[in-house]
Amino acid sequence: MGLEIRRRLFVPRFSRFHWTVVAGATVECLVFVAGGGFSLWWWSPDSGRIDPSGFILIELSAFALFALGAGFGLGAFLLSLQWVEVRWVGVGSHLVASTLAAWGAILLGENELQASPASVGYWLPWMAFALAAALIAMGVGALVSLFVPVRHEIAR
């Protein structure tokens, strides 16, 4: 009886796909945290690139990037654990962060459609849409990684 309960609570973590998803979520976490830190450094009022009164918007956007990085990091940490219930929470955290980040990338791409390519800071719209597609694919991969060990368990 005790072994059966243990099998339900603990799912084997030796799937390459599962660890690929954990590594991808970790990379997403690092990229978003680095993006937030870079924007704070690049647009600091001391650099002369921005008016100090407009720096509050840079701080808010960096805070949003840090929050998304924390969501991806929490998802990666919880996905690396072996309890199924904790992995569900990790996938939920990752999916929320993926949804918000993809939504932001899509909005960025839509705003760039109306901008002139000769303007400063122009970002090609297809790059924003490709970023959103990659974020959605990682979110789907995190969700699918929950069911891969279960399928192996049923196949035995």
Amino acid 133: pLDDT: 94
- Per-residue model confidence as pLDDT tens digits over 74-87: 999 988 887 778 88
Identify which has the larger pLDDT, 49 or 20: 20
User: What secondary structure, in 3-state letters, does the chain show?
Assistant: CHHHHHHHHECCCCCHHHHHHHHHHHHHHHHHHHHHHHHHHHCCHHHCCCCHHHHHHHHHHHHHHHHHHHHHHHHHHHHHCCEHHHHHHHHHHHHHHHHHHHHHHHHHHHHHHCCCCCCCCCCCHHHHHHHHHHHHHHHHHHHHHCHHHHHHHHHC
Q: Residue 112: its pLDDT value, please?
A: 77
- pLDDT for res 62: 93
Q: What is the pLDDT of residues 79-131, one digit of tens each?
A: 888 777 888 899 999 999 999 999 999 998 888 777 777 776 677 888 889 99
What is the average pLDDT value for the chain, to the nearest integer? Answer: 82
State the pTM of this model.
Answer: 0.78
The domain ranges of the chain are 18-155
| The pLDDT of residue 20 | 85
